[in-house]
Amino acid sequence: MGSNLFSIKDKTVVVTGGLGQIGSSYCQILGERGANIVILDSSEYNLPLEHNTTNLIDNGQAIYIQTDITDKKSLYNALNKIESKFGTPFGLINNAGLDSPPNSSSQSNGPFEEYDEKIWDKVIDVNLKGVFLSCQILGSAMAKNGAGSIINIGSIYGILSPDQRLYEYRKFSGEAFFKPIAYSASKSGIYGLSRYLATYWAKNNVRVNTLTLGGVFNNQDKEFLNEYHKKVPLGRMAKSEEYGGAIIFLISEASSYMTGSNLVMDGGLSAW
């Protein structure tokens, strides 16, 4: 392997939710290292992007395909376009997901006893079913081709229960907030799905791992940040680009003997 240990040059990598804050940062670091990038997102491609994803698309190194990851037909359409442009993908980063940040409406973040099952269904549909279908359709093509690396993006709230005390400050403004159960349940399911596929596709030379993220700074409420920082040994939230190194490691041959594993990057939060 030598100097090519971390090389991803000319590898085609699919990033779901690639127009978002974290997804676009993955696209940027992959692009900087010479990968061909496929951005799948349900949004129209007219959003202001934090990273230079536009440049990657303009120079032909990346393509954007509007895709509903909860719909098989939409994913098959995406696969056809990918194969026409770049061939069978080598990498798949299942990043798309729904969350309930601390500054979101209390309508969808009430107590467990009153949690709306329609919201539950929507979150599970995107966060878990969407990963299942993306793996089933895109991952199957990779397995048939005999090579690939899949990264399923997890969360600390998939391995730890949310600390509801972080959100108590909302009560002082007369608005109770509870980090809802659907996000935790959906992210917990990611680990079982990843382990299953890691063993199922090992014979096809497709590795499947989970990358568990800690909280990422995105202009959250000051009160929330103050409390969250106290829980993290490094004393802060992550910057979205700080996960780029782990992405390169998991996609490249540097992690060639790693599958069915969970790489945790949470600033030390889960260490105490």
198-229 pLDDT per residue, tens? 999 999 999 999 999 999 999 899 999 999 99
Rounded to an integer, what distance in angstroms lies between the CA atom of residue 202 and that of residue 205? 5
First to last CA, the chain: 37
CATH architecture of the region 9-101+126-158+182-217+239-257? 3-Layer(aba) Sandwich (3.40)
- Residue 101's H or E segment, with its range, is none
Please tell me the pTM assigned to this model. 0.94
Higher per-residue confidence, 114 vs 261? 261
pLDDT for position 43:
83
pLDDT for position 30:
96
HSE-CB at 211 with a 13 A cutoff on CA atoms is: 25
Rounded to an integer, what distance in angstroms lies between the CA atom of residue 198 and that of residue 255? 13
As a whole number, mean pLDDT of residues 169-192 equals 89
> Whole-number mean pLDDT of the chain?
92
pLDDT for position 102:
62
